[in-house]
Structure 1
């Protein structure tokens, strides 16, 4: 009988104690679940086995990357419906005794109905050990995180996927961070240009000043600042592929006399002082234990009165910050060793390093729209993307960008621009007294 889908839905609803929010279509052609919703398609029983061995987002992600699990319908809608099951569960009680979760499972299996369902899961998945993770998964790392060598490897994993692939996703702007959308008719290219210009205006850039862009990507920020504000800009990245691409763009734009691109760690920059520093979408790679060091280094690279614009994704605070753990899918497939911190913690570390924080602007809704635009670009160029990076890698990017869009839209995470200044010894910050003045 073709009954795998109804059995999967039955098992899921019993385990979750709530209706399953999507249709399910199984490898045997059966279908079950609420009509009119996207369908979660199990193309192979191996997908269910992955979820059995690693329940939650990592098991689902492995099945997705392997091509064993897909969605028929709007991916964002499907992830939005699943978000309450995967990401918006109540935070674990830090006072709960050790082993409480294991005891709950054992107690549940004493219930005859639950035991029958567990046997049903095993019957559906078939015998065997857990399938090997897809080759796109990063193996668990050993040793201390955020050494220079380990950071280079992590950056290479994410950014050295191929410039042609990123061009498909990002479009001509080649900006891989949250855009700023002034109105509904704004295009992605216009929104990215608006973001770059907003950063330049917050930094108060003027002709002849020196700008350091930490984590310069493909060079868009330094090129914009040099072309429109006449600054001498230095961009640093750990990605060799990015640097080669950026240098070519700089040469083609005729900006060689104003822009320099280096493959360099921010901890190795010695040619200070700079008038301004931009760090856009880079600080997520620093790590909480290194963040104060990062802030102190940037503070030391600025002249008195120099400004820092730190553009960074933030997570929501936890009741028990010691219980924070990195998202498994992101850590193993997307940003190895990446960490998110609450915006309050970021502001505190910057102040501890000696900065005066002058402005914080939240751009959360803008990032949701940016990610949706990137997903649309990827899906519109899917065949070419698969040729460039393999199907599994393309599926990683599709899932992470779509899931991130939902996370921003649901306020699970945010993104903020923090403007800080290294004040002079006499307290002079060289800042206009109102935001409207320094944004004009």
Structure 2
């Protein structure tokens, strides 16, 4: 079974209907494909079985996470080139059914079955989420999903995020700035949009490791309640609060946003949390936050958005992200988010896209992970570290290509008189 690489390359090109843009390197030492291009490395026959039994994005993801498949060369270039390898994607791609009717493709597939060894489907890597029956976005399933993503280990996240410990899009003055400065500027931008003043109460929904709560209390003199569903995050945040001497101004709770009942608050920040809420719960989320705000209070909702489709019924969740990164996470178009906030009673006063900033942020996170790879893999496990490297690099490209975006939506709960409390020229934060 020598020259497995040529056989793999030929099949990929049959499926794509175009020359393969990357090299293929197989476990038998063979190589095929354009010289100088990044190489898709299949380390064993199991990689082929994963692609045969689950063709498309999930099969590729399983092979990557398990270490059966790797990339030799620049990761971003390789991801850009191989994005068309997923069968279902691409305007000119033939359907799977049409491909399987092609005698040449069927012959190549039979050869790959022989090449792959025993025709048994490999078990998914242990990092893959095991699905449970029942409704999405109950308090129980949300706790489980959040734990999967955030309870990876605080030491691991320190490697990726750096001293700021902020796990959301930074706000860059220049591409050459530091990650710490850009994250501080993002937190300050949120505080400025909320117009925080000493003595006010701030609810930070999805408070993470406490960075927003600490910044708002220390720099603006507000009292903060931060809520998270992650036990590990809460423990870490409480220690940071104590080390800063801010325990009299900051309370960190392990609490679902649906269980907060001690309003009213003067302001609410929700930074990178609403992606976990889900479409069927989003109006409830907006209504709950509206009820927790005093009249005249402001909400800053910082959220990733997908592009709307002509036919929304055809939208499907990214298989890799759903299985390995954000279980049950859902992205909505910006217009949908604004509509739901307004349905809940909010008046949306400002929308700012900071899409390019997230590409810069993600590339810094990937660089930090790669620079301390051995320790990161030891702390979180090699499979988990590979998940984070792939998803962050792929997301950086998605933001840069304008496939997805991220927006800060500033909304107010107007007074009964209709007064928003906003100045005539509000964008003084710029």
Q: Same fold (TM over 0.5)?
A: yes
Identify if the C-alpha distance between structure 1 residues 84 and 128 changes in structure 2 by more than 3 Å, giving closer, same or farther: closer
Unaligned runs of 5+ in 2: none
Q: How does 1:418-433 map to 2 (within 5 A)?
A: 418-433=409-424
The TM-score, its normalising length taken from structure 1, stands at 0.95
2:76 equivalent in structure 1? 76
**Deviations along 1:60-83, whole A, 9 cap, x unmatched?**
110011011111111111111122
Q: Which residue of 1 aligns with 2:379?
A: 388
What is the aligned counterpart of 2:328 among 333, 337, 349? 337
Quote the Cα distance in structure 2 between the aligned partners of 1:168 and 1:259. 25
Equivalence for 1:128: 119
CA distance in 1, matches of 2:312, 2:78: 30
Secondary structure (helix, strand or coil) at the match of 1:180 reads: coil
C-alpha separation in 2, matches of 1:84 and 1:64: 16
- TM-superposed CA distance for 1:185, in Å, is 2.6
Residue 104 (structure 1) aligned to one of 98, 103, 107: 98
SS of residue matched to 1:313: strand
Q: Deviations over 1:218-250 (max 9, x none)?
A: 000010001111111110000011000000000
Using the alignment, how far apart are the partners of 1:20 and 1:187 within structure 2? 38
Corresponding residue pairs, total: 430
| Aligned equivalent of 1:197, options 165, 176, 188 | 188
Task: Name whichever of 35-44 and 113-122 sits farther off.
Answer: 113-122
1:393-418: CA deviation from partner (whole Å, max 9, x where unpaired): 11111111111111111111111111
| Cα separation, 2, equivalents of 1:18 and 1:176 | 39
Q: 2:308 aligned to 317, 342, 350, which one?
A: 317
Name the structure 1 match of 2:367: 376
Q: Which residue of 2 aligns with 1:291?
A: 282
Change (3 A) 1:92 1:13: closer
Quote the residue 1:360 is aligned against.
Answer: 351
Residues 326-335 or 338-347, more deviating:
326-335
> What are the Cα deviations for residues 321-341 of structure 1, in whole angstroms up to 9, with x where unaligned?
122221111111111110000
Query: For residue 246 of structure 2, what is the aligned residue in structure 1?
Result: 255
Tell me the residue number matched to 1:277: 268
Give the structure 1 partner of residue 237 of structure 2: 246
Q: Does 1:267 align with 2:258?
A: yes
Q: What residue number does 2:140 align with? A: 149
Give 1:284 deviation, angstroms: 0.4
Contact kept, 8 Å, 2:99 with 2:105, in 1: the verdict is no
What secondary structure does 1:146 align onto? Answer: coil
What is the alpha-carbon distance in structure 1 between the residues aligned to residue 412 and residue 163 of structure 2? 32
SS at match of 1:138: coil
Structure 1, unpaired ranges of 5+: 94-99
Matched, 1:306 2:297: yes
CA distance in 1, matches of 2:88, 2:128: 24
Secondary structure of 1:27's match?
A: coil
Moved over 6 A (4+): none
Determine the structure 2 residue equivalent to 1:96. Answer: none
Q: Give the aligned partner of residue 19 of structure 1.
A: 19
SS at match of 1:236: strand
Which whole-Å CA distance do the structure 2 matches of 1:115 and 1:60 have between them? 20
Q: C-alpha distance in 2, partners of 1:315/1:412?
A: 7
Tell me how far 1:386 sits from its aligned partner. 1.3
C-alpha displacement of 1:115:
2.8
Written as runs of structure 1 = structure 2, the 5 A alignment for 1:92-241 is: 101=95, 103-108=97-102, 111=103, 113-241=104-232
Q: CA deviation at 1:371?
A: 0.7
Rounded to whole Å, the distance in 2 between the matches of 1:435 and 1:16 is: 51
Q: Which range moves more in the overlay, 179-188 or 229-238?
A: 179-188
Give the aligned partner of residue 97 of structure 1: none
Q: Secondary structure at the match of 1:369?
A: helix
| Separation in 1, partners of 2:206, 2:128 | 24
1:127: how far off?
Answer: 2.7
CA positional deviation for 1:7:
1.1
Once the two structures are superposed, residues 41-71 of structure 1 have per-residue CA deviations (whole angstroms, 9 ceiling, x without a partner) of 1011111110111111100110011011111
Structure 1 pair 119/162, CA: closer, same or farther in 2 (3 Å)? same
Matches of 1:92 and 1:261, distance apart in 2? 51
Distance in 1 between residues matched to 2:272 and 2:383, nearest whole Å? 25
Q: Tell me which residue corresponds to 1:415.
A: 406
Cα pair distance change 1:315/1:279, threshold 3 Å:
same
Q: Tell me how far apart the structure 2 counterparts of residues 104 and 229 of structure 1 sit (CA, whole Å).
A: 62
